[in-house]
Structure 1
Amino acid sequence: MSSTPPGFELPLRLFLAFRVLIDELHAELGRQGHPDIRPMHGFVMQAIGPDGTTAVDLGRTLGVTKQAAGKTVEALERIGYVERTRDPADTRRKIVRLTPYGMDALARSAAIFDDLRARWAAELGEDRLRALEADLRTMTPANLWRLDIPGWFGAP
């Protein structure tokens, strides 16, 4: 009997680690005044960025249709994370921008991720965690901010 884990365990463990971190992030965000934010919202708010974007460009960045992007923007607008404004360069276009509440959620997320990393370093040891991070950098593309995961999870 081989002691080598089956190949399917690696992606499941990586996804589980992602899920643990994201669930802990959202639990803490809830305690810090952002109880309605969901994991998908983080991808969308990162894609909107500090300068804003259009629904068409947002959909392209996320790998989803303009309509799917629009529904997510509507949901984020209802809970106060984004607003739609007219593009000063072309008043026919609407720009989706983060509100101060949305910017606060992203800033808090960054700080919470730093805290979560520190917890992992305390549990695993800083050297082991740095080695894990280095190994993951070796095995993954350099583009850290690939935001098309919503589209990737969608139907073909």
Structure 2
Amino acid sequence: MPSDPPGFELPLRLLIGFRMLIDDLHAELARRGHPGMRPMHGFVMQAIGVEGTTAVELGRRLGITKQAAGKTVATLERLGYVERACDPGDARRKIVRLTPHGLESLALSARIFDDLRERWARTLGRERMGAFEADLRALTAGQVFRLDVPGWFGD
């Protein structure tokens, strides 16, 4: 019987699986009319949310500087995924909001992720896929959706 793999292989395999899903997602998004979308954009649009937010709050949610958040917002604005508007409660503040194009891209991403999950389930088998996901949920309890991943990869 072979020995257990080295401990460092586990995070690498998890990262490779994550990268495969993200790369496949973005290839499909490009085919379906969103060629400018990048992995960081999904984190940013999720952090903006349906209510919108300010660049300062966006930076805090993502664990990045206000300037980095502003640069990404400018890119998303140029691509038509977000817009800036005056805050109705304070005309000095700008609120970043998702456009209909941005909302559509998030909905499309969700459908594509469902398709990718289905592909993995066909490869592993439904029972094994369910067990795999249950095991990951048990190991990552309380960590459902961390938006600060971009900041975590920084300095």
Query: What TM bracket, shorter-length normalisation?
Result: over 0.9
Residue by residue over 1:68-99, the C-alpha shift from the partner in whole angstroms, topping out at 9 and shown as x without a partner, is 10111011111111000001111111000001
For 1:53, the equivalent position in structure 2 comes to 53
For 2:148, the equivalent position in structure 1 comes to 148
For 1:116, the equivalent position in structure 2 comes to 116
For 2:34, the equivalent position in structure 1 comes to 34
For 2:127, the equivalent position in structure 1 comes to 127
Local SS of the residue matching 1:138: helix
For 2:96, the equivalent position in structure 1 comes to 96
Residue by residue over 1:82-137, the C-alpha shift from the partner in whole angstroms, topping out at 9 and shown as x without a partner, is 00000111111100000111111100000000000111111101110111111111
Q: TM-score, normalised by structure 2?
A: 0.97
CA distance in 1 between counterparts of 2:30 and 2:42 reads 14
Are residues 1:16 and 2:16 paired? yes
CA distance in 1 between counterparts of 2:56 and 2:137 reads 31
Structure 1 gaps of 5+ residues are: none
User: CA RMSD, aligned part only?
Assistant: 1.1
Q: TM-score, normalised by structure 1?
A: 0.97
CA distance in 2 between counterparts of 1:107 and 1:91 reads 31
CA distance in 2 between counterparts of 1:86 and 1:75 reads 19
- Runs of 4+ that moved beyond 6 A: none
Displacement of 1:145 in angstroms is 1.6
CA distance in 2 between counterparts of 1:139 and 1:87 reads 41
Structure 2 gaps of 5+ residues are: none
Number of aligned residue pairs:
155
Percent identity over the alignment? 70
For 1:106, the equivalent position in structure 2 comes to 106
